[in-house]
Amino acid sequence: GQQLNQSPQSMFIQEGEDVSMNCTSSSIFNTWLWYKQEPGEGPVLLIALYKAGELTSNGRLTAQFGITRKDSFLNISASIPSDVGIYFCAGQDSGGSNYKLTFGKGTLLTVNP
Amino acid sequence: ETGVTQTPRHLVMGMTNKKSLKCEQHLGHNAMYWYKQSAKKPLELMFVYNFKEQTENNSVPSRFSPECPNSSHLFLHLHTLQPEDSALYLCASSQGPRAFFGQGTRLTVV
């Protein structure tokens, strides 16, 4: 089946630093989504990307859909302690139905105040 | 509040028990999903329902039995589970590719 390679697996940063994480795939995706999950909660949608090359921002978060449609990155600027959580990428494939999503394993972000 | 509500939040059950997980969405979406989240693994899609019809069963063992009586409600009936079935079970709904998740049910099988 399809797989998403998400990196890094974990990050430990100081408050105020910028963060970058990415996902790559061997398959083309129609849509890339980025989610954040906090302990004891379900994933919350942060950003959705629909077109190759698209760059979208949501506050301090910026995500881009790769030109080849096989990768995406998420940047967080000026991190704060509440950014702590697991960030997941997810792709919806071009040949799929039911909007089935394939998820990466996640990036665990820890922010030291 | 994402508009998707799951109950219970936590469940401990024995291997011979029968229990059900419930999911309700208030977003008017047509599709609903069950995902399993285990430690160190990506979210695994279990079932997909579109307009109450099951359109995907991702090779899930028969001890998990989904039910979708209408587009707003989704159940997952559990019976004779194994300890390795302990995980966070997430419900989601969507109208298009953007899926919205509930808070999950933390299931422990003892």
Q: What is the DSSP string of B12-45?
A: EE-TT-EEEEEEEE-S--SEEEEEEE-TTS--EE
CA distance A98 to A100: 5
B91 vs chain A: nearest CA distance in angstroms? 9
Which band of pLDDT confidence, cut at 50, 70 and 90, is reported for residue A90?
very high
- Which residues in A lie closer than 8 A to residue B104 (C-beta atoms)? 41-42
Q: Which residue of A has its CA nearest to B102?
A: A42
- Does position B10 have pLDDT exceeding 60, yes or no? yes
Q: How high is the pLDDT of residue B86?
A: 96
Cα–Cα nearest to A84, from A32, A53, A48, A41: A41
Q: How many CB atoms lie within 10 A of CB A46?
A: 18
CA distance B72 to B52: 9
Q: Specify whether the CB–CB gap between A32 and A46 falls below 8 A.
A: no
The segment with the largest mean pLDDT, out of A97-111, B7-21, B44-58, is: B7-21
Q: How high is the pLDDT of residue A95?
A: 55
In this complex, do B102 and A42 lie within 8 Å of one another by their Cβ atoms? yes
CA distance A17 to A94: 35
Contacts of residue B62, defined as CB under 8 A and 6 or more positions apart, other chains included, come to: none
- Which residues in A lie closer than 8 A to residue B103 (C-beta atoms)? 40-42
CA distance B68 to A9: 36
User: Which residue of B43, B52, B68 is the best one to mutate when testing the A interface, meaning the one whose CB has the most A CBs within 10 A?
Assistant: B43
Q: How high is the pLDDT of residue A97?
A: 57
A92 vs chain B: nearest CA distance in angstroms? 7
Q: Which of residues 13-52 of A touch B (CB under 8 A)?
A: 30-31, 33, 35, 40-45, 48, 50
